[in-house]
Chain A
Amino acid sequence: MRSKTRSAALALLCVGSLALATACGSDDDSSEGDGGSTTITWWHNSNNDPGKSYYEQVAADFEADHPGVKIEISAMAHEDMVDKLDAAFQSGDMPDIYMERGGGEMADHVDAGLVRDLSDDASEEIGKIGGSVAGWQLDGKTYALPFSLGVVGVWYNTDLFKQAGITDTPTTMDEWYDDIAKLEDADITPISVGAGDKWPAAHYWYYTALRSCPEDVLKDAVTSLDFSDPCFVQAGDVLEDLLATDPFNAGFLTTKAQEGATSASGLLATGKVAMELQGHWEPGVMQGLTDDGKGLGDKTGWFPFPAVDGGAGDPADALGGGDAWAVSEDAPDEAVDFVKYLLSDEVQKGFAENDMGLPTNPAASGSVKDPALAQLLQVRDDAPYVQLYFDTAFGTSIGGAMNDEIALLFAGKASPQDVVDATQEAADAEK
């Protein structure tokens, strides 16, 4: 009798310990509420004010207009959000509303059946945003609504340019080389690049490719994954010419993009270098890297990537990218309504007024206060064609191989042809 209870207890314990081990995996589906109420989970990366409070206000306004709807916000640092999203995609336990960067990355998520088609539900907003939405469309269907779209360009220190006697920003590569020489003569390091993180180095190649290749070749490459056009090798040749002027900060091969004062953005923010090729987020990043929280302040200047001699690309074309709100496949319908609200004139205007990014809703264009961002917005809207960052456009696998090889080109360990070959090899593995 005693032994029986003991073995029963034993069995219970064994089962219990196993159950405990498996129980950790399951989690309640947050989108199902009781008594007619709906909870929407929303992940975003505006984890600093004013953006954070602004989004809280937006959610509260929506809740007030939609009784029974509750919005659960998770505001995370960007890198944390990307990691958590990766885990969410793997487990299928996704937030209802999250950020998509478009291109091949999004195509992978769509293929896996994780993203909701918004074409019909949000047709009005899609029409309003116009051409910018193209990066988030696949086979004529729209899977996410871009709320901020920026372009990459050269950020520079106007004081250091003056010191070196540079009066006008360069419009061709040759003029740029002259300016680099002037800066070097004045004992100023011309450019910083975070080649340790690879993508900042890759942006140079993306731009030389954008300037060297005709628009249709680039558009075609994204779908056909064919990089045989000689303009892609030419892009590497142009980049080698730039590298030959030795314009970069010492140790640039392991320099990080935007972490700390010794990163590429930190060097520009603290006046150690004159220029950096970066995206529209640069002023905000620099503010976080200086003690006074001002970054370069009123010394901040911006010019578009110069034209390449004999290049087939339009010098007004821009490299860019942005963030879009996507709704996961099994999210409640109210999530779609909220995303539509996020793209409304009212919310986008507030978004612009708080300098949270470059709004995509034309009604908000006039609301951008920061002069540098306003200039960027102008360039973006005037650009005949905005090429999505290649690594995003081609997806992580091809993009990663491409970026790694471009970083090798920066180190002098790969030729322009190698970059094309490595990209093509990774692309062939995807076909």
Chain B
Amino acid sequence: MTTTEAAISGEVTRRAATRRVAPRRAPGPAGARWRQRLEIAFFVTPALALMALFVVWPVVSAVRMSFYHWKGFGPMDELVGWRNYDYVLHDDVFRGAVTHNFVIVFASILIQLPLGLAVALLLNRRIRGRGLLRTIVFVPYVVAEVIAGVVWYQLLQPESGVIDGLIRSVGLTPPEQGFLGTPSLALGTVFVVLTWKYLGLAILLFLAGLQGVPDELFEAAQLDGASWWQVQRRIAVPLLGPTIRTWCFLSMIGSLQLFDMVWILTGGGPADATTTMATYLVNQGTGRHNYGIAGAASVVLFVIGFLMALIYQVFVLRRDTHEAR
């Protein structure tokens, strides 16, 4: 800190000095400019090096891999052009995986958003045990994904599982093959578990957003005779807009990259009913050693995610970033 400060103060006095001598030459001598560039390089290089190593290089090698037929060892020398992409894009399993990802994306926004908002608005009221309730709601999000997955996997076991027992105890018949073992129910079951897990994050974000709404606004509205409902609808929710839009973005990206919960609960089964793009590429890559196909699938996942992020940025988030400026 002291070196930086000294450097900056030195810079300032030197600039002042040069300006006195030659006031018209704005940027100062070439040496100072170079020093400034070096300083920028000094602070940016470590971050750039890490980013190049852990972000850019993997992306580049995945793209490269996607054009080869490669088993994961030995020389990567069998160039196959677009064959891997052709395979991935025509593979029913991959198409199913993309569909499942988008089902989760839209279901999250349609179900988790209203639910999260409702709970956040309720928890924003002055009620007894509010702190405790907030903690309880947030706990699933803090639990490690794998642990939560294993717990739900056991709860959802057919016959021996707790949930089947509960359903039986009220006189209903649980599905014969269990919730996770029945292809038509599996994706819905996974989504319920995901909602349980991630609703806490939505609520936390919305609550934080609500803290940012000045109390005066609520008071003023109440003085004008607005009901609780009207206050929420006309003031709280609109002012939460930027938070909601940011949450939707996070949720969308998370849904596209969905892997761990599905992997633990179903492994993509039964009968490929819950495959996601990420489970598909792990199955093809580390499972079958088709690293070229896995590479192509990962590039497709990257492109889809990138496009969605871009579109969202341009059409939805632009308002928020604009306002911030």
Q: Are A262 and B157 in contact (CB under 8 A)?
A: yes
From A21, A251, A399, residue with most partner B Cβ within 10 Å: A251
Q: Which residues of chain B from 214 to 235 have a CB within 8 Å of any chain A CB? A: none
- Give CA–CA (A76, B154) in the complex, Å: 27
Across the interface, A251 reaches (CB within 8 A) one of B177, B267, B272, B286, namely B177
Residue A297 lies at the interface, judged by CB distance under 8 Å to chain B: no
A411 contacts the other chain (Cβ, under 8 Å)? Answer: yes
Residue B8, interface by CB 8 Å? no
A430 — nearest CB in chain B belongs to which residue?
B69
Chain B residues lying within 8 Å of A411, measured Cβ to Cβ, are 183, 269-271
Given known A7-B38, A253-B177, contact A17–B289 (CB-CB < 8 A):
no
Interface centre among B74, B160, B283 (most CB of A within 10 A): B74
Contact status B178-A250, CB under 8 Å: yes
Q: A7-B38, A196-B269, A396-B289 are in contact. Are A251 and B74 (CB under 8 A)?
A: no
A14 touches B42 (CB 8 A): yes
A251 touches B178 (CB 8 A): yes
Task: Report yes or no: B42 in contact with A13, Cβ–Cβ below 8 A.
Answer: yes
Known contacts A10-B42, A250-B176; A113 and B74 CB within 8 A of each other:
yes
Query: Which of chain B's residues have a CB closer than 8 A to the CB of A244?
Result: none
Q: Chain B residues with Cβ under 8 A from A196's Cβ?
A: 266-267, 269-270
Asked if residues B42 and A252 are in contact (CB atoms below 8 Å), the reply is no
Other-chain contact of B41, A10, A109, A253 (Cβ < 8 Å): A10
Q: Are A17 and B73 in contact (CB under 8 A)?
A: no
Q: Are B289 and A10 in contact (CB under 8 A)?
A: no
Closest A-chain residue to B157, C-beta based? A262
A38 to chain B, nearest CB (A): 25
Contact assessment for A407 and B269 in the assembled complex, using a CB-CB cutoff below 8 Å:
yes
Chain B residues contacting A178 (CB-CB under 8 Å) are: none
A387 to B31, CA, bound (A): 76
Within 8 A of A (CB), among B54-76: 71-75
CB-based nearest A residue for B73:
A89
**CB under 8 Å from chain A, chain B span 21-55:** 31, 35, 38-39, 41-42, 45-46, 49-50, 53
Say how far B297's CB is from chain A's closest CB, in angstroms: 14
* Complex Cα spacing A285 to B121, Å: 52
Is there contact, CB below 8 Å, between A262 and B154? yes
- Give the most central of B38, B180, B267, B270: most A CB within 10 Å: B270
Q: Which residues of B contact A164 (CB under 8 A)?
A: none
- Chain A residues lying within 8 Å of B238, measured Cβ to Cβ, are none
Q: State whether A252 and B288 are in contact (beta carbons under 8 Å apart), knowing that A3-B31, A86-B72, A89-B73 are contacts in the complex.
A: no
B38 & A10 in contact (Cβ 8 Å cutoff): yes
Name the distance in Å between B323's Cβ and chain A's nearest Cβ.
37
CB proximity of B80 to chain A, nearest CB, Å: 10
Residues 195-216 of chain A, each 1 if its beta carbon lies under 8 Å from chain B, else 0: 1110000000000000000000
Contacts known (A196-B267, A400-B283); A114 close to B73, Cβ less than 8 A:
yes
A196 to B273, CA, bound (A): 12
Q: Is A225 an interface residue (CB 8 A)?
A: no
- Residue numbers in A under 8 Å from B73 (CB-CB): 86, 89-90, 92, 108-109, 112, 114
Query: What is the distance, in angstroms, from B24's C-beta to the closest C-beta of chain A?
Result: 25
Contact B181 A254 (CB under 8 A): yes
> Contact check: which of B38, B74, B287 meets A114 at CB < 8 Å?
B74
Closest to A85 in B: B73
A13, chain B: closest CB distance, angstroms: 7
Closest to A7 in B: B38
Complex interface bits, B100-127 against A, C-beta within 8 A gives 1, otherwise 0: 0000000000000000000000000000
**In the bound complex, do residue A21 and residue B159 qualify as a contact, i.e. CB atoms below 8 Å apart?**
no
User: Does any Cβ of A come within 8 Å of B158's Cβ?
Assistant: yes
Q: List 19 A-B contacts (CB under 8 A).
A: A7-B35, A10-B38, A10-B42, A13-B42, A14-B42, A18-B45, A21-B50, A90-B72, A90-B73, A111-B74, A250-B176, A250-B178, A254-B266, A262-B154, A400-B288, A400-B289, A407-B269, A411-B183, A413-B271
10 A-B pairs with the lowest CB-CB distances in the bound complex, closest first: A112-B74, A253-B270, A251-B181, A400-B288, A411-B271, A251-B178, A89-B73, A251-B158, A250-B158, A396-B289
Residues of B within 8 A of A (CB): 31, 35, 38-39, 41-42, 45-46, 49-50, 53, 71-75, 87, 93, 154, 157-160, 176-178, 180-181, 183, 186, 265-267, 269-272, 283, 286-290
Question: Apart from A108-B73, A113-B74, what are 5 other A-B pairs with CB-CB below 8 Å?
Answer: A108-B74, A195-B269, A251-B181, A254-B269, A411-B183
